[in-house]
Amino acid sequence: MPSKTKNKNPSTELVDKIVECALAKKAENLVVLDVYNLTTLSDYFVVCSANSEPQIKAICDSVRRGTPHKPWHIEGYEKLSWVLLDYVDVLVHVFKNEEREYYNLEKLWNDAPRKEHHY
């Protein structure tokens, strides 16, 4: 299996659009984890949180409407405590604050280069 190289990664434009859409709905503590060289699961994880279910829904809807591609898979949209939007090369995690603390994805992927964004 050929290894990934950093020279070719078209996912950055999608990440930028996702970040813009999430921040437009006041996503909190938004972090982009570059997992490109750490896993074959995805190139990037976008992780953010919100205080309420309506805000989580608003963030997810904004990302879904504002990106040029439809997510390949959506998980957790019915319960709105942890929603995963799977764009294959980019995985978007929108957490309720308590769930984000509990699962602590940033600690699990501590080796990944990260970039924080604030609205």
Q: Which long-range contacts (CB under 8 A, 24 or more apart) does 4-8 make?
A: 4/36, 4/37, 4/40, 6/36, 6/37
Share of the chain above pLDDT 90, in %: 82
Output phi, psi for 51, to 5 deg: -85, -25
Please say if the pLDDT value at position 1 is more than 50. Answer: no
Report the topology of domain 11-117.
Answer: Beta Polymerase; domain 2 (3.30.460)
Residue type, 64: R
pLDDT digits (tens, 9 = 90+) for 78-108: 999 999 999 999 999 999 999 999 999 999 9
Structural contact between residues 49 and 95, judged by C-beta atoms closer than 8 angstroms: yes
Cα torsion 8, 37, 15, 93 to 10°: value is 150
Instruction: Flag the least confident range among 30-34, 36-40, 87-91.
Output: 36-40
Please say if the pLDDT value at position 10 is more than 60. Answer: yes
Full-model pTM: 0.89
